[in-house]
Amino acid sequence: PQPVYLSDYQPPAYLVTHTELTFDLDPAATRVKARLQIERHPSADSQAPLVLNGEHLTLISLAIDGSPLADAAYQLTDEVLHIADVPETFMLESEVELAPSSNTALEGLYQSNGMYCTQCEAEGFRRITYYPDRPDVMATFKVTVIGNATSEPVLLANGNPVDQGALENGRHFATWEDPHPKPCYLFALVAGNLHKVEDSFETVSGRNVTLQLWVEQENLDKTEHAMASLKRAMAWDEQTYGREYDLDLFMIVAVNDFNMGAMENKGLNIFNSAAVLTHPNTATDAAFQNVEGIVAHEYFHNWSGNRVTCRDWFQLSLKEGFTVFRDQCFSADTNSAPVKRIQDVSFFRTAQFAEDAGPTAHPIRPDHFIEITNFYTLTIYEKGAEVVRMLRNLLGWEDFRRGSDLYFERFDGQAVTIEDFVGCMAEVSDVDLSQFMRWYSQAGTPEIDAHGEYDYAHGEYHLTLRQRTPATPGQSDKLPLHIPVRMGLVGTKSGQDLTLTLLGEKLGNDAVIHLTEDEQTFVFTDVAEAPVPSLLRDFSAPVKLHFPYSREDLAFLLTHDSDGFNRWDAGQRLAMLALDDLIAAHRNGVEKVMDSRVVEAFRTLLTSAMSDKAVLAEMLTLPSEAYIAEQQPIVDVDAIHAAREFVRQSLAVALRDEFVAVYKANQSDEPYAPTPEQIAQRSLKNVALTYLMAIEDEEGITFCETQFAAEHNMTDVRHALTLLVHSDRDDIASPALKAFGEKWAHDPLVMDQWFTIQVSRPQPDVLERVQYLMQHPAFSIKNPNKVRALVGAFAQNRINFHRLDGKGYALLADVVIELNRLNPEIAARLVTPLTRWQRFDEERQQLMRDELVRIKQEPLSSNVFEVVEKALA
């Protein structure tokens, strides 16, 4: 497969202004008739051929302006339809046949549980009809869907319903019109036996929008939270960004087989059922919050993505980075803002940093790709959102909002670039963002080495920051970035933020300093007492910050920093210092000794009357094994696991009574609600229980058993079951697991949780369990959720996946090879853990590489090929 380059971008030679489609649905032989109103681009050569994308299609007929095309008039390959000679404007009519029931890739038109549905982003529309499948071709659409009245009573497409009726032979039809010109990646169709929940929303200008959530009948009781989230998101986007919805109908459909979380098709969002269905008995708090965030994210795309879209797929972060930033802010406003930031950053620093340090590292705007679906990554989405957040911080909210208004107004109905977006921000604010643009083209995580000195004699604090970005594949030399560092100086005597005076200017207690050079020294004057610097507050830039904090400094910041995020971060850094010592002790065979400062810091947290229980729960949570691994030059899987377990157990032994007290104080009989208060209480209670179970405390075991049996809500049930299954008390865990599996055998989303709980336990029988569960009737390799829940979760189980006999790697490779044929997109994602082989010891490196080589010997999809090729380069 050949890469595509950003530098080769050319505008389309032909535009489609209006598209009419008729689908005659059949599982094995769906017919699609297309009528495309086409005109030559004003800048194109009059001799330019018409080149349309099309894959996995059987061409039945082709005509221009009503005249059928002779065979010699066009050329057909597996990927394109090429017509050499076409008029300036014309109507192209085609008919194709395709087989939705055998489409296991879940791109284009496919069937899920017998229901027809589509996924066209990024390049799935070419599996539906011959078309210029690129986002800068935007057309209005009229779509007629013909289906079987009994098996497909509901026929949906984008926009507004304009006609419907009965046909011969038990068939019926519905016609939909979407007045907003859109790229074909936003096209959607759904047909099946669906049931709806309906509500409405009055927009800021007084228009009434009908909201519909379409699900299978048995899921009708799982829609309330998604609907409420949608209404909150609609109101938030009006209030925060001045964005109003633009059709009379907004629909969401839940499907079981879906490659990602959801898709923002115009007026007809299609969701993975895991990203929309919730019920207190079946979904955890985390799932409730995830659904709220994804519903909002897809809704926000209506402006950031649909009304203003991307010129080409290299600009993907234009819509995804901005929309993730918008959904993060929405969730922060709706729930606990500090906790949202802690959770996002914690995930980001573990997973995106790892991506940025691995063989598939790429800039937020890549300059080439083989397979675009491989670029729906944490870098494009999450780092893209961090970069938008930096823009917001550099400009301030008011100017940022003015820039956003200008962007939506100026580019409404257009397909644009990242320069267009950043240009609007620069224009309204007069801030020079030229150096800032490097964030979009440079891959890798910048590192800042900082050190500070207090000059008692002059009352000055000298802070020196040095930045460097490590080399990444294809990018050896990096230029300095514009890095906003939000900071404060916390007085060691007063415990208060000191006023920051820089170059004679008073900046207040908390300010942003701009690091633009390789190295800069900032001299703060009038510093009356020795401070501890609080740097990168609220994670003001996506960088690694190194500062030689002592443990005393960190314990001080943990209790005194006015920035909630940095208080949490100080705790994480303190724990990391202790963990580093213990990892070294484990490797050297030396007795492990717990750092009493960590114990005392935790005691203070547990006994202080901290009002935000959700933040407290985060502060009591140790860095994950994956995060710890990220900090090590060479990952020692066993030492990391042993060290973390040792800290957990030491804390549990030392603070056992405090944990019991916290657990008891946070039990509640209130009926379940996904409110921030209740969620905070449950998470604090369950963190305490986790510590008690680290030492298999008898009272802790009783709490688990009671919590599991009470069946108040899935958050508590799942947590208790997980702790039991991950303990050595198989006598209690096995019957509980069995009962849970039997009770929920009918519910695929709960069975996913059942799979994950079992394969993430630390005991060494996990590999055999995975193999056994892959034969379970509830598992299907064709369903991405099942693959993620079982095989994906196993690959995150660090000590079991990285077994020294290599069987964990071999299992993953076997599944990747099978999925490469069925669903290349999921196969390419699943292989990721093997691509990180450079991070491990030599023995494991060899074992992982061997599996990558074995995969490479297969006839590979372009998706898996691109990833494996990079990993072995």
Q: Which residues bind ligand HT7 (CB under 6 A)?
A: 119, 121-122, 259-260, 262-264, 297-298, 301, 320, 373, 376, 825
Token digits for 15?
């535009």
* Long-range interactions of 852-860: CB distance < 8 A, separation 24+: 852/813, 854/813, 854/817, 855/813, 855/816, 855/817, 855/820, 855/831, 858/817, 858/820, 860/820
Task: Say which entry of ligand HT7, Zn ion, none residue 408 contacts (CB below 5 to 8 A, set by partner kind).
Answer: none
Distance between CA atoms of 456 and 449, rounded to whole angstroms? Answer: 23
In the list Zn ion, ligand HT7, none, the entry touching 241 (Cβ below 5 to 8 angstroms by class) is: none
The radius of gyration computed from the CA coordinates of the chain, to the nearest angstrom, equals 28
Q: Are 834 and 851 in contact (CB under 8 A)?
A: yes
Q: State the minimum distance, in angstroms, from the CB of residue 114 to ligand HT7.
A: 21
Beta carbon nearer to ligand HT7, 301 or 586: 301
Say how many residues touch Zn ion, by CB under 5 A: 2
Smaller CB separation from ligand HT7, 381 or 454 = 381
Q: Which residues contact 267 (CB under 8 A, 6 or more apart)?
A: 158, 159, 160, 178, 247, 249, 250, 251
Rounded to the nearest 5°, which phi and psi values hold at 443?
-85, 170
Whose Cβ is closer to Zn ion: residue 320's or residue 561's?
A: 320
Instruction: Tell me how crowded residue 393 is: count the other CB atoms within 10 A of its CB.
Output: 16
Are 318 and 307 contacting, i.e. CB atoms less than 8 angstroms apart?
no
Between CA 168 and CA 179, with CA 174 as vertex, the angle to 5 degrees is 150
Distances (CA, A) of 110 to 128, 143, 297, 420: 10, 17, 24, 36
Minimal distance, residue 415 CB to Zn ion, in Å: 16
696 catalytic residue (yes or no):
no
Strands (E) in 492-571, as ranges, are: 500-502, 505-508, 511-515, 519-524, 531-535, 544-546
Burial class of 198 by CB neighbour count within 10 A (0 to 12, 13 to 18, 19+): exposed
Least Å distance, CB 117 to ligand HT7, is 11
Rounded Cα gap, residues 722 and 170, in angstroms: 50
Stretch that binds Zn ion, among 117-125, 313-321, 692-700, 720-728 (CB under 5 A): 313-321
Residue 254 interface partner, choices Zn ion, ligand HT7, none, CB cut-off 5-8 Å depending on type: none
- Nearest residue (CB) to ligand HT7, 256 versus 373: 373
CB atoms under 10 Å from CB of 27, counted, come to 13
Q: Which partner from the list ligand HT7, Zn ion, none does 867 bind, CB cut-off 5 to 8 Å by kind? A: none
Q: Could you give the maximum distance between any two Cα atoms of the chain, in Å?
A: 95
Least separation, in Å, of the C-beta of 362 and ligand HT7?
16
- 327 makes contact, choosing from ligand HT7, Zn ion, none, with CB < 5 to 8 Å by partner type, with none
> Residue 849 CB, nearest distance to ligand HT7 (Å)?
28
Neighbours of 72 (CB within 10 A): 7
Residue 260 site contact among Zn ion, ligand HT7, none (CB < 5 to 8 Å, cut-off depends on kind): ligand HT7
Please choose, out of 17-25, 103-111, 143-151, 314-322, the segment that lies near Zn ion by the rule CB under 5 A: 314-322
The binding track of 323-352 with respect to Zn ion, each residue x by CB under 5 A or -, is x-----------------------------
CB of residue 21 to Zn ion, shortest distance in Å:
24
In the complex, the smallest distance separating the C-beta of residue 403 from ligand HT7, rounded to whole angstroms, is 22
Closer residue to ligand HT7 in complex, CB, 697/866: 866
Q: Residue 378: which of ligand HT7, Zn ion, none does it interact with, CB under 5 to 8 A by kind? A: none
For the CB of residue 305, give the shortest distance to Zn ion in the complex, in Å: 7
Residue with tokens 């962007």: 407
Distance (Å, whole) CA 372 – CA 377: 10
Which of residues 329 and 617 has its CB atom nearest to Zn ion in the complex? 329
Q: Residues 93, 292, 298, 371: which is the catalytic one? A: 298
| Closer of 384 and 480 to Zn ion (Cβ) | 384
Cβ–Cβ contacts within 10 Å for residue 323, how many? 26
H or E element that contains 653: helix 637-654
Residue 636 binds which entry of ligand HT7, Zn ion, none, CB below 5-8 Å type-dependent: none
- The single residue listed with the structure tokens 């907003």 is 180
Going by C-beta distance under 8 Å and a sequence separation of 6 or more, which residues neighbour residue 808?
Answer: 767, 794, 795, 800, 801, 802
Which region among 125-133, 316-324, 546-554, 601-609 touches Zn ion (by CB under 5 A)? 316-324
DSSP 360-408: T---SS-SEES-GGGG-SHIIIIIHHHHHHHHHHHH-HHHHHHHHHHHH
Neighbours of 659 (CB within 10 A): 28
Q: Which does 96 bind (CB under 5 to 8 A by kind): ligand HT7, Zn ion, none?
A: none
Binding region for Zn ion (CB under 5 A) out of 322-330, 605-613, 769-777, 784-792: 322-330
Q: How far is the CB of 294 from ligand HT7 (least distance, A)?
A: 8
- Spell out a b/e string for 499-522, using b for 16 or more CB atoms within 10 Å of the CB, else e: bbbeeeeebeebbbbebeeeebeb
- Give the nearer residue to ligand HT7 in terms of CB position, either 264 or 752: 264
CA 524 to CA 695: how far, in whole Å? 48
Task: Report the partner that residue 373 touches, choosing among ligand HT7, Zn ion, none (CB closer than 5 to 8 A by kind).
Answer: ligand HT7
Strands 309-310 and 415-416, bridge-based pairing: parallel
How far is residue 724 from each of residues 549, 625, 681, 688, 735, measured CA to CA in Å?
A: 38, 20, 21, 14, 11
* Beta carbon of residue 830, minimum distance to ligand HT7 (angstroms, whole number): 14
816 binds, among ligand HT7, Zn ion, none (CB under 5 to 8 A by kind): none
Q: Which does 122 bind (CB under 5 to 8 A by kind): Zn ion, ligand HT7, none?
A: ligand HT7
Q: Where are the alpha helices (DSSP H) in 788-861?
A: 793-796, 798-801, 807-822, 824-830, 832-835, 842-856
In the complex with Zn ion, the residue whose CB is nearer, 120 or 721, is 120
Q: Which is nearer to Zn ion, 53 or 323 (CB)?
A: 323
- Least distance in angstroms from the C-beta of 323 to ligand HT7: 7
Name the residue nearer to ligand HT7 (CB basis): 261 or 762.
261
Which residue's Cβ has the minimum distance to ligand HT7?
Answer: 260
| Residue 200 C-beta: closest distance to Zn ion, Å | 25
In the complex with Zn ion, the residue whose CB is nearer, 308 or 511, is: 308
Q: Using CA atoms, how far apart are residues 391 and 484, in angstroms rounded to an integer?
A: 9
Window 272-311: contact mask with Zn ion (x via CB under 5 A): ----------------------------------------
Residues acting as catalytic residues: 298
- The site for Zn ion (CB under 5 A) is made up of 320, 323
